[in-house]
Amino acid sequence: MESPRGDAVALLYSGGADSSLAACALAKTFKTVHLNTFTRLGFVAPDFSSVHFNRMRERFPDAEFLHRFISAGRFYRALESHRFYSLARRHGWLVLNSCGHCKTALHWRNLVFCLQNGVRFAADGAVVNAEEFAEQNPRILMPELERLYAGFGITLLHPVYQEGLDTEARLFELGISPKERIKMTAHDMQVVCTQQILFAMMMRIILSRHTFTEYEEMARAYLREKLAFIKRLTEDFVAHPGEATAVARML
């Protein structure tokens, strides 16, 4: 399948192997690749994302990579706290899905960036074999996120997932990373989240009581409610430009 082409694309960019290879892939078909590194309380070492960014600029001098840091803390807090107690009664331990809340909130902030800047394509670094993470699972959040973006006229791409690439090896072949294997090593230069332990604890509890297929069904039902909240607030933001909508107050 031919890769989509356009003037600009906004990528969720942590600086790690997956999002860096996604950036390289997007640079082949887009004039401008916005590398959006999101920050919030709980993230440390955001400057790590600059390492691969600088190497990509050297490796692909004709590509326009625009790297920026964008605060997403208010979006994360709004999403995580939305109907927390009522959802806890119905969905149990899933309200502790810190990684699901986080990536969904980052996509929300990326969507708003696209709307503000007239960018019609968005992308992430989703990879195969990471299906415990909702945003990288085609049976949980991937199609739901695509529909969310599409509702606002934006196409969400998963360039690395679609190619099924070994991101670490390919990034090394391109001369971006110094080692063939960098994940979970000192060479893994990406934003670090201090809250992944909470997600790991949640997964351990849920999978001790349910099958993985049941987890997928439960997570999809839970996160759909969060996406409905995002859609409603974003539609209000679009319908009332310049007004003090909930989204405008979070910017």
Angle at 192 between CA 186 and CA 194, to 5 degrees: 125
Higher pLDDT, 191 or 108: 108
Q: Considering just the CA atoms, what is the radius of gyration of the chain in Å?
A: 18
Tokens (6 digits) for 152: 């606002």
Q: Does position 11 have pLDDT exceeding 80, yes or no?
A: yes
pLDDT at 216: 98
Q: Which residues contact 15 (CB under 8 A, 6 or more apart)?
A: 37, 48, 49, 50, 51, 52, 53, 189, 190, 191
**pLDDT, tens only, 231-251:** 999 999 999 999 999 999 999
pLDDT at 1: 47
pLDDT at 35: 97
pLDDT at 6: 77
* Buried/exposed 72-111: b ≥16 CB within 10 Å, e otherwise: bbbbbebbbebeeeeeeeebebbbbbbbbbbbbbbbbbbb
Q: Does position 50 have pLDDT exceeding 70, yes or no?
A: yes
Q: Which residues contact 30 (CB under 8 A, 6 or more apart)?
A: 5, 6, 7, 8, 9, 121
Domains and CATH numbers, the chain: 6-250 (3.40.50.620)
- How confident is residue 225, by pLDDT bands cut at 50, 70 and 90? very high
**pLDDT, tens only, 147-186:** 999 999 999 999 998 665 677 778 888 877 766 665 655 5
Q: Does position 195 have pLDDT exceeding 90, yes or no?
A: no
Mean pLDDT of 109-129: 96
Higher pLDDT, 78 or 187: 78
Concatenating the DSSP letter of every residue in 130-175 gives -TTSGGG-TTTTHHHHHHHHHTTT-EEE-HHHHHT--HHHHHHHTT
pLDDT at 51: 74
Distance CA 246, CA 231 (A): 12
